[in-house]
Amino acid sequence: MKKLSVKLRIWRQKNQNDVGRFIDYDIDGLNEHMSFLEMLDVLNENLISNGEEPIAFDHDCREGICGSCSMVINGKPHGPLKGTTACQLHMYHFSDGDNITIEPWRAKPFPVIKDLVVDRTPFDRIIQSGGYISVNTGSAPDGNAIPISQEDALYAFDAAACIGCGACVAACKNASASLFVAAKVSQLASLPQGQPERAKRVVSMVDQMDEEGFGHCTNTGACEAECPKEISLEYIRKMNWEYHRANIKS
Ligand code: SF4
Ligand code: FES
């Protein structure tokens, strides 16, 4: 088993009003099979032992499903590995002696709360504005009894893979939340349960996205390239189609 030493450059910011700055840390003796977040845990244990303030970073599941572990690693949201969250990234993807820069999402609608933690409640408000269904669907039916074509089910399932992490916003030069909103809108618009609020939902969610200060889609595809769940730009096409359909029908 290889041991690694890395040089870290980490964004430290006390609170929303602090200007923030990068601080350098050297860390050695790392097990290459550690996850990136475990490497940060080791650093924090060292900092605490030295009487210093640990680095604040968001994490929860550490399995790539909750979307909490938002951080930019060497300029890439969630780091260098395609289709992978920061918590699923392992240290064997780095080399001994590497310089690693870690910073928070940089987007005006996601202000930094502390160090690497940003306020992502704008996403919660977008979901509250329409990302739900009102019909009572009962308990989970048998998969074969669901009256949905496999094509529709797969289309909705791929959209449902969005974990709400915000990497798409961090990757976009306009800080657009289009990929996130498009995934949620498309998932529900493709299923029978999503039909009652279909038109109202897309208008409310897109309007709320604008109100939160997210920019417009640039059409460059940076969001799709950096999304850890590889959500397709196709869903933005679908969202735009749904939005126009809703406006024509109203
Ligand atoms: S679309 Fe991808 S990058 Fe954006 S919030 Fe969902 S999972 Fe994260
Ligand atoms: S900690 Fe849950 S996705 Fe990374």
- pLDDT number for residue 250: 67
Question: Nearest ligand, CA of residue 230?
Answer: 1
Orientation of helix 198-211 relative to helix 121-128, angle to 10° = 150
From the CA of 85, give the closest atom in ligand 2.
4
Look at residues 158, 181, 176 and name the one whose alpha carbon lies nearest to residue 219: 176
Collapsed DSSP state (helix, strand, coil) of residue 192: helix
CA distance 125 to 240: 20
Q: Determine the distance separating the centroid of ligand 2 and the alpha carbon of 163, expressed in angstroms.
A: 9
From the CA of 164, give the closest atom in ligand 1.
5
**Type of residue found at 228:** P
26, with CB counted inside 10 A (0-12, 13-18, 19+), is exposed
Farthest-apart Cα atoms in the chain, separation: 63
pLDDT in tens, 10-51: 999 999 999 999 999 999 999 999 999 999 999 999 999 999
- pLDDT number for residue 137: 80
Query: The pTM is what?
Result: 0.95
Q: Determine the distance separating the centroid of ligand 1 and the alpha carbon of 220, expressed in angstroms.
A: 16
Alpha carbon of 85 to those of 58, 89, 125, 146: distances in Å? 12, 6, 23, 32
Question: Nearest ligand, CA of residue 40?
Answer: 2
Q: What is the DSSP letter of 5?
A: E
Do the beta carbons of residue 86 and residue 93 sit within 8 Å?
A: no
% of residues, the chain, pLDDT over 70: 99
1 DSSP β-pair partners = none
pLDDT in tens, 49-81: 999 999 999 999 999 999 999 999 999 999 999
pLDDT in tens, 108-162: 999 999 999 999 999 999 999 999 999 888 888 787 787 889 899 999 999 999 9
From the CA of 67, give the closest atom in ligand 2.
3
Whether the pLDDT of residue 238 is over 70: the answer is yes
Whether the pLDDT of residue 174 is over 90: the answer is yes
Helical spans, DSSP H, in the chain: 36-49, 121-128, 150-160, 167-171, 178-189, 198-211, 222-226, 234-249
% of residues, the chain, pLDDT over 90: 90
